Structure 1
Amino acid sequence: MARTGQFPPVPGERLADLLGVCALTSALPEALVDRAVAAAGRTERRSRALPARTVLYFTLAMWLYPSSGYGEVMRLLLAGLARKHRWARPVPVPSTAAITKARQRLGPGPLRSLFEQVAEVSDPGVASGRHRRRRLMSLDTALLDLPDSPGNRKEYGGSAVAADARALPQVQVVALAESATHAVRAAVFGPRGADLAREILPALGPGQLVLASCGALSYDLWTRARGRGADLLWQAKPSLDLPPLRVLDDGSYLSRLAGPTAADRLVPVRVVDCALPVLDRSGRCTGIRAGRLVCSILEPAGAAAADLTRLYGERWRLDTLLDELDARRGGARPVLRSKTPAMVEQEVWAMLLAHHAIRALVVGDAEGW
C-alpha cells in the first residue's frame, strides 16, 4: 500500500508532467468537469482532501502514466495541477486506500457525462475525412484485459485457475470514430461476446459512410444501420452467401443479403473482392490476404471499387487509440487496474476522455499554454 507523503522528485520530469496535466485541463477545463460531476449528483456536500474534480482528473492521469502506481500517478497529477492552477493547492499524496475510496465515491457517472458532452463537439478548424460528401466513420471493437477479481469474473467472465492470459476477464469496447481525425463520437462496452454493436447505432446518420470489420456484418445489424440513413462499407466473412447477380464495370458485382427466414426481404448490396492488409496488434502490415467488402452504394459512379478498397484499408481501428495513448508499453496490451465492474466502467470512460485530451494537444486545439 502506498504511504502518505511526498515522493522524491524525478530529474527532468517537470516539463513532461506539466505537458501531460495541461493536456487534460486544457481539453477538459475544470468548469466542464464540474458540470459533469454535478449532472451525475457527485458534488461534495463537505470539503474533502480529494474533491471530485481532482479524482476525475486522476482517473484520466492513470492513462497518461499506465506503468505507475496510484501514489505516483497522484503525485504527478497534484504537482502538475499546483504548477498550473490556483485552485489546486499542494497537499500530501494520499494512500492507495484513500484514492481507491475516492474513485468509488466518484463512480462512473461523471466520466460518462463528460464524454457525452465532448463527443458531440467537432474540432474547429479540423476537417473530417470525406468521400463524395460522405463523412468517413469507422466502427471497431477491442477487448481489454481486466484484473482477475471475483466481481470482474462474475460480470465479464474469465477463470482464476487457467494460466493462459486470455482467461483473464475482458471488457469488450465498441466505438464509432471519425476515420481521419480519430475523434471517438460514441462508445459502448460490456462483457466479451455481448451483442453491443446495435447499441451504438443511434450515433449513425445520413451523410456518413461507416466502415466496419466482418464481425459487424449480419442481416439484422445491416438493416438496422441502413435504417439510420448511413451508407455502409463492411467486410464480409468468407462463409457469407453473396451470389453474383450482375458484374459491374469496375469489377465489383451486385448481390443480395438474405435474412435468417424466408419472410425477410432480400437487401441489395454491392460486393468488392479485393486484397486486404493483415495487421498485427500494433497496426503494422504483416502480409496480404483475400477479402470481400460489402457496400450499400450500388453504383460505381458513387464510389469506385478501387476507392472502396483504399478507404477500408485506411479505416480507423480501436487499437490505434491505445497506441496514441502510449498505453501498450513494449507492445503488450494494457491490463486495466479496476477490480469491480463499476470501476471498470469508470476506467474505460477515462480512457476515451484521456484520448480526447491527447488528440486536442496533437491537433493544436488545446488552449491555455
Structure 2
Amino acid sequence: MEPMARVRKTLAEKIDVAHLMSVGVLASVCPRALIDEVLAQTERASKRERLLPAPAVVYYIMAMALWREAPLEEVLRVVCEGLQWLSRGQAPAVQASKAAISQARSRLGAEVMEQLAERVLSPLAAPGMPGAWYRRWRIMALDGTAMDVADEKTNAAFFGYPGSSRGSSAFPQARVLGLVECGTHAVVAAAMAPCSQGETTLAQTLCVKFKPDMLVLADRGFYGFGLWGKACASGASLVWRVKANLKLDVHRQLPDGSYLSEVFDSADRQRPAGQGQVVRVIDYTLKDSASPVQDSYRLVTNILDHEQAPALDLAALYHERWEIEGVFDEFKTHLRGASTVLRSKTPELVRQELWGLLLAHFAIRQLMAQAACTQGLDPDRLSFTHAVRVIKRKMPQAAAIPP
C-alpha cells in the first residue's frame, strides 16, 4: 500500500468577514499607535519601505497562535487582508515567501513583542466581577509550565532538554512562569527561560508585578525566605502553601484555628524570637476528596488579622490556584491544537513566538471578560474553545474594532 500524500492545509481563498474581525480582535489589544511607539523605542521600526513592514509582522506573530493549522504564508495573507479591511484599503497587499517571513521576524526580534506584552498584559476584572475577587483583593495565582520547542541545534543549546528517567526528552523545552488573574484567566505578567532555570528564580522577576490589591496564591515549590520577603515588600497579600516539615512554632493561637509564627532565613542558625518575619499559619486536611489518602495542607499568609480573612475562607480560596492550570491548558492545547511544538527554529524567535502567543491569549480573554461583564456572569461560565471558534469563524458581537 502506498503511503498517503500529506495535504497542505490552507485557509479559504476568499477571506470572509469573520477572519477580518479576528484580526480586529488582535488590533484592539495592540493598536497600531502602540506598536509604532514600541517599535520606535526599541529602534525596530522599518527604516525603508519593505514588503513586510514591522507593524504587519507584529500582528502576524500574534495571529500565528490563532491559526496553528495553517502554513505561515496563509496566516500572513489573512493578517494582511484583515489589516487592509481595517484601514479601508490603505494598508498594502502583501504576498511573501516563507524565507521572507523568517527574515522579517528576525529583523523584528523578541524585544518588541516583550515590550508590547509589558504594556498590554494587565488585570481585566472590574471591581465586583463574579469569581474574580475576595473582599478587597483581586485573586491571583503564580505558577509555571514548560513548552516544547522545535528540535533544532540552536534551541537545544539554549533551552536544553528536561531530565527524564528514560533518557532525554524528545524536544528542548522553554520554561514559562505566569502571574494569572484567576477570575478571568488573563495572564497579566510572564517570564521565560531555559528549562534548567527554576521557577523560584524566575519568580524573583515577577514579584515587582504584584500590587497591593492582589491576593497571590502559590504552591509549596515557591516558598523561600528571600522570595517571600521580596513578595511581601510589593504590598500584595500572599497565601502560599509550604512543606509540612517546615518548622513553625505557635506564638499565638487565633480564634479561627490559625496561629501566628515566625519564618527565618535558613542561613540564620540562631533564630532569635522577634527577629524573623511574622506569618499566620493555617493547617487543614481535605476530607472526602477524590484522593484515597487525606491531603494535609499548610498555608502561610501575611494577612495577620484573622477577621480580615478567616482561615476557612483562605483554605477554600487556595484551591482557586488550580485555575492557572486551566490557563496553561488553554494556550498549550486549545490554541496550539495538534501542533504541539512551537514553530520557531532559533531561541530569539521562540521567545518572540511565546510573547505573541501570550498576547493572542490575552486578546481572547479580554473579549470573554467583556462579554461576561455585559451579562453579569463569571467568565468561568464561558467556553474558551468556543470563544476561539467565534473569533476565527464568526462575527463576535463584543469585538472592539479600531476605526
Structure 1, gaps ≥5 residues long: 1-6, 278-284
- Partner Cα separation in structure 2 for residue 71 and residue 164 of structure 1: 37
1:267-306 superposed matches below 5 A:
267-275=277-285, 287=291, 289-306=295-312
Residue in structure 2 matched with residue 367 of structure 1 by the alignment: 400
Q: 2:227 aligns with which of 211, 221, 232?
A: 221
- Partner Cα separation in structure 2 for residue 89 and residue 103 of structure 1: 18
CA 1:325/1:276 → structure 2, altered by over 3 Å: closer, same or farther?
A: farther
3-state SS in 1 of match to 2:64: helix
Residue in structure 1 matched with residue 394 of structure 2 by the alignment: none
Deviates more, 1:231-240 or 1:39-48: 231-240
Residue in structure 2 matched with residue 155 of structure 1 by the alignment: 158
- Please report how far the alpha carbon of residue 231 of structure 1 lies from its aligned counterpart in structure 2 after TM superposition: 1.8
- Please report how far the alpha carbon of residue 304 of structure 1 lies from its aligned counterpart in structure 2 after TM superposition: 0.9
CA contact (8 A) 1:325 1:358 kept: no
The answer to whether 1:33 aligns with 2:66 is no
- Partner Cα separation in structure 1 for residue 144 and residue 361 of structure 2: 16
- Please report how far the alpha carbon of residue 329 of structure 1 lies from its aligned counterpart in structure 2 after TM superposition: 6.4
- Please report how far the alpha carbon of residue 37 of structure 1 lies from its aligned counterpart in structure 2 after TM superposition: 1.4
The answer to whether 1:137 aligns with 2:140 is yes
Deviates more, 1:305-314 or 1:179-188: 179-188
- Larger relative contact order (C-alpha < 8 A, sep ≥ 6)? 2
Residue in structure 2 matched with residue 72 of structure 1 by the alignment: 74
CA 1:147/1:345 → structure 2, altered by over 3 Å: closer, same or farther?
A: same
Residue in structure 2 matched with residue 184 of structure 1 by the alignment: 187
CA contact (8 A) 1:23 1:360 kept: no
- Partner Cα separation in structure 2 for residue 137 and residue 212 of structure 1: 9
Residue in structure 2 matched with residue 347 of structure 1 by the alignment: 353
- Please report how far the alpha carbon of residue 108 of structure 1 lies from its aligned counterpart in structure 2 after TM superposition: 1.0
Residue in structure 1 matched with residue 342 of structure 2 by the alignment: 336
Residue in structure 1 matched with residue 94 of structure 2 by the alignment: 91
Residue in structure 2 matched with residue 280 of structure 1 by the alignment: none
CA 1:165/1:23 → structure 2, altered by over 3 Å: closer, same or farther?
A: farther
Once the two structures are superposed, residues 227-251 of structure 1 have per-residue CA deviations (whole angstroms, 9 ceiling, x without a partner) of 2222210111234333444443323
- Partner Cα separation in structure 2 for residue 105 and residue 36 of structure 1: 14
- Please report how far the alpha carbon of residue 325 of structure 1 lies from its aligned counterpart in structure 2 after TM superposition: 4.6
- Please report how far the alpha carbon of residue 63 of structure 1 lies from its aligned counterpart in structure 2 after TM superposition: 0.7
Paired letter, 2:137: R
CA 1:332/1:91 → structure 2, altered by over 3 Å: closer, same or farther?
A: closer
CA contact (8 A) 1:148 1:168 kept: yes
The answer to whether 1:175 aligns with 2:175 is no
Structure 2, gaps ≥5 residues long: 1-9, 371-397
CA 1:67/1:275 → structure 2, altered by over 3 Å: closer, same or farther?
A: farther
Residue in structure 2 matched with residue 234 of structure 1 by the alignment: 240
Residue in structure 2 matched with residue 63 of structure 1 by the alignment: 65
Identity score, percent: 37
Deviates more, 1:210-219 or 1:317-326: 317-326
Paired letter, 2:314: L
- Partner Cα separation in structure 2 for residue 240 and residue 60 of structure 1: 44
CA 1:168/1:325 → structure 2, altered by over 3 Å: closer, same or farther?
A: closer
Residue in structure 1 matched with residue 83 of structure 2 by the alignment: 81
CA 1:78/1:145 → structure 2, altered by over 3 Å: closer, same or farther?
A: same
1:120-131 superposed matches below 5 A:
123=124, 129-131=132-134
Deviates more, 1:155-164 or 1:302-311: 155-164
Once the two structures are superposed, residues 56-86 of structure 1 have per-residue CA deviations (whole angstroms, 9 ceiling, x without a partner) of 1110001111232212222322333333333
3-state SS in 2 of match to 1:272: strand
CA 1:98/1:276 → structure 2, altered by over 3 Å: closer, same or farther?
A: farther
Residue in structure 2 matched with residue 203 of structure 1 by the alignment: 209
TM-score, normalised by the number of residues in structure 2? 0.77
3-state SS in 2 of match to 1:209: strand
- Partner Cα separation in structure 2 for residue 161 and residue 304 of structure 1: 42
CA RMSD of aligned residues (A): 3.2
Paired letter, 2:69: S
The answer to whether 1:9 aligns with 2:12 is yes
- Partner Cα separation in structure 1 for residue 82 and residue 352 of structure 2: 22
- Please report how far the alpha carbon of residue 157 of structure 1 lies from its aligned counterpart in structure 2 after TM superposition: 1.0
CA contact (8 A) 1:63 1:351 kept: yes
CA contact (8 A) 2:160 2:172 kept: yes
Residue in structure 1 matched with residue 116 of structure 2 by the alignment: 114
CA 1:57/1:271 → structure 2, altered by over 3 Å: closer, same or farther?
A: same
Paired letter, 2:277: V
TM-score, normalised by the number of residues in structure 1? 0.84
Residue in structure 2 matched with residue 255 of structure 1 by the alignment: 261
- Partner Cα separation in structure 2 for residue 22 and residue 144 of structure 1: 28
CA contact (8 A) 2:110 2:351 kept: yes
- Please report how far the alpha carbon of residue 301 of structure 1 lies from its aligned counterpart in structure 2 after TM superposition: 0.7
